A and B are shown apart, each in its own frame.
Chain A
Amino acid sequence: DVKVTQSSRYLVKRTGEKVFLECVQDMDHENMFWYRQDPGLGLRLIYFSYDVKMKEKGDIPEGYSVSREKKERFSLILESASTNQTSMYLCASSAGGSSYEQYFGPGTRLTVT
């Protein structure tokens, strides 16, 4: 079974802090994704990575950066957390190619106060 893990289920940070969300997958997938999910707005793609050190902006990259130094690990970084970044963050991975489904981690519920 594919397993995608995220470093924290719940996280509370203060405005202005630098926040790291970690995601690890164990299926040797080429693609990894970070989404945020907000009520009424559905799933929105923040960043996508199709290979080590390769990344592509999604629909809402502002205020975020990512890092993929190893194939299995994809990190989302909030350089200076703000209250409007309070959200559920979901990491996903998939094999290469457009036909493959994404597998999601359990999510991190981030609260910025």
Chain B
Amino acid sequence: AQKVTQAQTEISVVEKEDVTLDCVYETRDTTYYLFWYKQPPSGELVFLIRRNSFDEQNEISGRYSWNFQKSTSSFNFTITASQVVDSAVYFCALRGRYSSASKIIFGSGTRLSIRP
């Protein structure tokens, strides 16, 4: 069975602080794909990143960075120098390589609030 756990239901930090959103996954597939999505108050889920299981290189995009560690089955997301516009619900998701395209497993989401 596949599972994605986002243990942090809500996080609140002051603007300019760094914040890390945790994502732990379970899968028996040897090849799989991990995703992060952002859902701002407007409601639309916005795709942020895809990571293939065979590529453990960490990724940085501006103030966003992702730390993929196969040994601990984690794919954590860090926002550096957070801004109010980062306030949103963030979802981590998983799909196995041989799963149907419909079998993407979403975590329950972490609601991030950035206070000015």
Q: A8 to nearest B CB, angstroms? A: 12
Give the chain B neighbours of A52 by CB distance below 8 A.
none
Q: Contact between A99 and B102 (Cβ–Cβ < 8 Å)?
A: no
Give the chain A neighbours of B45 by CB distance below 8 A.
90, 92, 104
CA distance A56 to B107 in the complex (A): 22
What band does the interface of chain B fall in when counting residues whose beta carbon is under 8 Å from A?
20 to 34
CA distance A31 to B52 in the complex (A): 20
The answer, yes or no, to whether B25 is at the interface (CB within 8 Å) is: no
Fill in one digit per residue for B32-58: 1 if any A CB lies within 8 Å of its CB, else 0. Answer: 010101000011111100101000000
A interface residues, how many (CB within 8 angstroms): 26
Q: Contact between A101 and B108 (Cβ–Cβ < 8 Å)?
A: no
The answer, yes or no, to whether B30 is at the interface (CB within 8 Å) is: no
The answer, yes or no, to whether A96 is at the interface (CB within 8 Å) is: yes
Fill in one digit per residue for B86-116: 1 if any A CB lies within 8 Å of its CB, else 0. Answer: 0000010001111111111011110000000
A109-B96 in contact given A98-B33, A98-B101, A102-B104 (Cβ < 8 Å):
no
A102-B47 in contact given A42-B108, A42-B109, A48-B102 (Cβ < 8 Å):
yes
Q: Contact between A48 and B101 (Cβ–Cβ < 8 Å)?
A: yes
A100-B106 in contact given A106-B42, A107-B44, A109-B43 (Cβ < 8 Å):
no
CA distance A101 to B99 in the complex (A): 13
CA distance A88 to B96 in the complex (A): 27
A31-B44 in contact given A98-B33, A98-B96, A101-B50 (Cβ < 8 Å):
no
Give the chain B neighbours of A101 by CB distance below 8 A.
35, 47, 50
Known interface pairs A94-B101, A98-B99; 5 further A-B residue pairs with C-beta atoms within 8 A, sorted by A's residue number: A31-B102, A48-B100, A48-B101, A56-B102, A98-B100
Binding site for B on A (CB under 8 A): 31, 33, 42-43, 45, 48, 50, 56, 58, 88, 90, 92, 94, 96-107, 109
